[in-house]
């Protein structure tokens, strides 16, 4: 019985230290994909989702700052992506699910880098920019 006590204590403590993961379904509309083009300002390489801050220059000349979530850090790493694959100052195009909150934010699925390389950012992503879209 005494051996079981540390096990049960560990079970009580583990949920407090495990990072929470949230579904993107409540924040983004997978049926309303959008495409933006802009300049990376910041990259937050973290769990549960990597975040890119992107400045998009509107046709009016006004700059809108977008918050772009992408797949889990483990997904990006499994695709061979290191922190350096995109840097502040890089020009990119991004395809993703639009915000359900009417904000300049999206859940990114694909990113087209300035060198023409397309990067799939989620587990279910398929090539988009290279297919003539």
Dist. CA 32–CA 29, nearest whole Å = 5
Reduce the DSSP state of residue 110 to 3 states and report it.
Answer: strand
pTM for this model (two decimals): 0.78
CB atoms within 10 A of CB 124: 9
**Most confident of the ranges 2-6, 37-41, 123-127:** 37-41
CB atoms within 10 A of CB 35: 14
Dist. CA 26–CA 4, nearest whole Å = 39
Query: Is the model's pLDDT at 84 over the cut of 70?
Result: yes
With cut-offs at 50, 70 and 90, classify the pLDDT of residue 6. low
Query: Average pLDDT, stretch 110-117?
Result: 95
For residue 16, the model assigns a pLDDT of 40
More confident of the two residues 133 and 52: 52
Q: Which of 121, 106, 101 is nearest to 65 (CA)?
A: 106
* Cα distances (angstroms) measured from residue 125 to each of 54, 83, 85, 122: 20, 19, 17, 5
For residue 8, the model assigns a pLDDT of 46
Query: Is the model's pLDDT at 70 over the cut of 60?
Result: yes
Query: Average pLDDT, stretch 95-113?
Result: 96
Query: Average pLDDT, stretch 96-124?
Result: 94
């Amino acid at each position: 019985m005494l051996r079981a006590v540390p096990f049960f204590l560990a079970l009580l403590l583990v949920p407090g230290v495990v990072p929470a993961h949230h579904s993107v379904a409540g924040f983004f509309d997978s049926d309303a994909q959008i495409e933006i083009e802009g300049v990376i300002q910041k990259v937050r390489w973290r769990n549960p989702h990597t975040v890119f801050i992107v400045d998009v220059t509107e046709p009016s000349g006004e700059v809108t700052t977008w918050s772009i979530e992408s797949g889990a850090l483990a997904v990006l790493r499994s695709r061979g992506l290191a922190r350096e694959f995109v840097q502040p100052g890089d020009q990119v195009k991004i395809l993703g699910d639009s915000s359900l909150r009417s904000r300049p934010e999206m859940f990114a699925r694909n990113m087209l880098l300035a060198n023409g390389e397309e990067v799939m950012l989620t587990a279910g992503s398929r090539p988009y920019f290279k297919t003539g879209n």
